Structure 1
Amino acid sequence: MTPLFANGPALQTRALFAVLLAFVVMFLDHRVEGFDRVRPYLNSVVSPIIYAANFPQKFFNWSSESLSSRSDLLAENQRLRESYLVLNERIQRMEFIQRENDRLRALLDSPLRQDFRKMVTEVMAVENNPTSHQLVLNRGIADGVFEGQPVLDENGIVGQITEVSRTTSRVLLITDHTHAIPVRIERNQVRSIAVGSGSLSRLELAYVPHSTDIREGDILLSSGLGQRYPEGYPVAQVTSVISNEGQRFARIIARPFAQLDRVRYLLLLWPPQKRPTDKHQTPMASGVK
């Protein structure tokens, strides 16, 4: 079978011819003065070949840089993501600390009589018994805590100390069904007794005649009777007045000012006659029924 195209010169012959042609061109470029006008045309012819010869190297460099840049970007993105998580956690912690500082500031700035010593304490545990509303605090005899000591939060009266150990103490909340606190109505100074209902959001006034001047929205303050709680501190606000002539007494329901379902930091009060160093002094008259 005859090939379509005749075989050309051998490869070695072609290479030798190209080398000789290159020497001839170099000689003419060096010796012939008019060859300068031909050189631009020759460069234009050779330029595509130079670009083609350099293309693999440039492509390899570009690919390497692209891969390196992508790898660096991925690594930097991972670092930024980790930094974001760390910073976000710090922001959340700072917000938590800010809220805690606000609570403590509200406690310390609460309207206390100047002759009362006060100490901030933290809730360690909450009584799980649904029929008993009690808390455990991280202050005890070593801090001068005594039985019957009043306990407040930034909003009002929380309860009183009923048991004391060396480093802890137990608080009976005002809503416990065994607790009672003498109160007076801020509007007209009418006195009554607020007793615990067993619900953290409800107190009831005991033995109130139907003719007593009590209205919804009235503020109940501690009256100071019984010498357990100091006078004039917020206790609760009347939310309901139910007067049924078929019953001997009106039913008065009030909501405590203290946030009893979410307390964490509390204030312990020492009346002027009861200093923290008086660790063995007999407790004052009980306010527990």
Structure 2
Amino acid sequence: MAYSTFERTPPPFFRQGPSALTRLLLFSALAVLLMALDVRFKVTPLLRQGLSVAIYPLQRAAQAPVDWSRQLGGYLEAPAKAQAEISRLQRANVALSLQAQIDAQLRLENNRLRALLHLQQSLPPKSVAAQISAQAADPFSRTVVIDRGSLQGIELGSPVIDETGLLGQVTRDYPWSAEVTLVTDRDAIVPVQNQRTGERGVVYGEPGLGQGGMELRWMPAAADVHVGDVLVTSGVDGIYPAGLRVARVTSVTRQRDTAFARVVCAPLADVDGGRQVLVLQPLTPLVAGPKVQKSGKTASAPAASATSR
């Protein structure tokens, strides 16, 4: 074989591109540049919206087999569940009929007193029924995805409830879906009021207490709070309507070396297994922006300062 026919370039095993340090510096500079552009020109929300619209058909196609299997399982279990549900609803209807009559009378008296005192009438907020379709894959946040978005009237900051209490708050909205930050997320802040005493406070999501943990912070050691107290939204933040059930106090620890009591709570809503939810219209519309979309704490942050003063 002629010498000129030999391959004179190094084999692929010995070929090397940029060094690992050069690649690290290049990608680090690129990441810093993207963050600077996002802070300066707010390009990430627009990019996220565009990607959401582009991959929505793929998401629906990937979710279709799961939905079909759930529908098939539900169809097979439907008769037995329907009978049990009918029996339960019949018993609940008897108990609720009396409560409805009492509530109607109390609402009438309340409206008369408000009219006498020239106070604004309290109206129930508008709502949109939705269903939890997925749970966020981020292990450091407690968020879920619902199957209703901005095209169905979902707004940023909208409270989300289930049949037992406050579930969370809409922190990102897309055309056909929205992300809900649960009340147990580390960035979740909810102004509350003790239903028994009327004392106001602020509940924080506390992941350090395990899944579904919450903490009522900055309560004085001498505060009248006991195990079993129910906490409801105070309504002072302009986001959550007053009276929504949030959590129940599970433990109160008072120590001599601190001026505050450690109050641990458990959410009343089914943050782990719920599926059907109701999205309420916020009392004060929020302006869309990266701070609101980042986490639920920014939407309720003004309430924390309002209740602490």
TM-score by length of 1: 0.59
Q: In 2, are the aligned partners of 1:180 and 1:287 still within 8 Å (CA)?
A: yes
> Aligned pair in 2 of structure 1 residues 163, 249: CA closer, same or farther (>3 Å)?
same
Aligned equivalent of 1:123, options 124, 128, 132? 132
Give the aligned partner of residue 236 of structure 1.
247
Bigger radius of gyration: 1
Give the aligned partner of residue 287 of structure 1.
300
Structure 2: distance between partners of 1:131 and 1:224? 28
Question: Does residue 77 of structure 2 align to residue 92 of structure 1?
Answer: yes
Structure 1: distance between partners of 2:241 and 2:183? 14
Aligned equivalent of 1:145, options 141, 154, 158? 154
Q: What is the DSSP-based 3-state SS (H/G/I as helix, E as strand, rest coil) of the residue aligned with 1:287?
A: helix
> Aligned pair in 2 of structure 1 residues 98, 195: CA closer, same or farther (>3 Å)?
farther
Give the aligned partner of residue 160 of structure 1.
169
Structure 2: distance between partners of 1:191 and 1:207? 11
Q: What is the DSSP-based 3-state SS (H/G/I as helix, E as strand, rest coil) of the residue aligned with 1:95?
A: helix
Give the aligned partner of residue 189 of structure 1.
198
Cα-Cα RMSD: 3.4
Question: Does residue 216 of structure 2 align to residue 210 of structure 1?
Answer: no
Structure 1: distance between partners of 2:188 and 2:149? 21
Unmatched runs of 5 consecutive residues or more in structure 1: 1-87, 275-280
Structure 1: distance between partners of 2:146 and 2:258? 41
Structure 2: distance between partners of 1:90 and 1:163? 33
Give the aligned partner of residue 263 of structure 2.
252
Structure 1: distance between partners of 2:250 and 2:162? 21
> Aligned pair in 2 of structure 1 residues 97, 163: CA closer, same or farther (>3 Å)?
farther
Q: In 2, are the aligned partners of 1:184 and 1:222 still within 8 Å (CA)?
A: yes
Unmatched runs of 5 consecutive residues or more in structure 2: 1-72, 104-121, 293-297, 305-309
Q: Deviations over 1:77-132 (max 9, x none)?
A: xxxxxxxxxxx99662333567899999x9xx999x75322221011111233321
Q: Aligned residue pairs: how many?
A: 193
Give the aligned partner of residue 268 of structure 1.
279
Q: In 2, are the aligned partners of 1:218 and 1:238 still within 8 Å (CA)?
A: yes
> Aligned pair in 2 of structure 1 residues 167, 101: CA closer, same or farther (>3 Å)?
farther
Structure 2: distance between partners of 1:89 and 1:260? 22
Q: Deviations over 1:231-279 (max 9, x none)?
A: 01100111100001123421001111101110111001125776xxxxx
Structure 1: distance between partners of 2:155 and 2:87? 28
Structure 1: distance between partners of 2:247 and 2:269? 8
Give the aligned partner of residue 173 of structure 1.
182
Structure 1: distance between partners of 2:284 and 2:188? 24
Q: What is the DSSP-based 3-state SS (H/G/I as helix, E as strand, rest coil) of the residue aligned with 2:299?
A: coil
Q: In 2, are the aligned partners of 1:234 and 1:257 still within 8 Å (CA)?
A: yes
